[in-house]
Structure 1
Amino acid sequence: MQTSGYNNRRQYNQIANYAYTEQVVNLAVKAQSPKEYMEKVKSQIKGEQIKIGEIDKWEDLQQNLKMNCIPQSIFEVAADNYQKFLDVRRTLMAKKIRNYYSRL
């Protein structure tokens, strides 16, 4: 994010920007935009060499996104629409937490 003009830690060090990833995945995506690395994940699903993570089925990817409250816009996210992505993800996270507590 820093290389995309988001130099203030408050802009990129926030809960809606965090996602648990294995170190090997984190190194594979490095400074790429989500749009760039999600294209590689989509290629994996189409049968190309696995380069990021282990997801090789569309259903698994969709389930992973849902579990982690990642909006479908992840496939288009770049620096210019980062804030909108965070807003949508915060909403998804809040809904998940609300649903969890309502089931207690």
Structure 2
Amino acid sequence: MKLPSLTAYAKAQAFGMAVSFAIALHYANQMGLGLAIYVIGAAACWLAFEFIQGRREPSHLSDAKTLTRAMAIGLALPWGGFLLAYLLNALRP
């Protein structure tokens, strides 16, 4: 099986998402939030970003500014799932 060759932009975004996913998952677990809801929310945020903004991102570039932007986007996306799990936990009676 051959692994796909990713651009530098995709690698930076994936690294940011992996780090942020692990940190947010840890905090969601510590706070007793629904982990399934967290994972669904994080995936929904990622898909929404890709559908809305994904085509406009300069993924063919590999300069420092673009890679920093990709890393920041990757770090921000999983926290949408954390917010969803937190809000649904707050609404629970």
TM-score tier, shorter chain, comes to 0.3 to 0.5
**Higher normalized contact order (CA 8 Å, seq sep 6+, divided by chain length):** 2
More helix, by proportion? 2
TM score, norm. by length of structure 1: 0.32
TM score, norm. by length of structure 2: 0.35
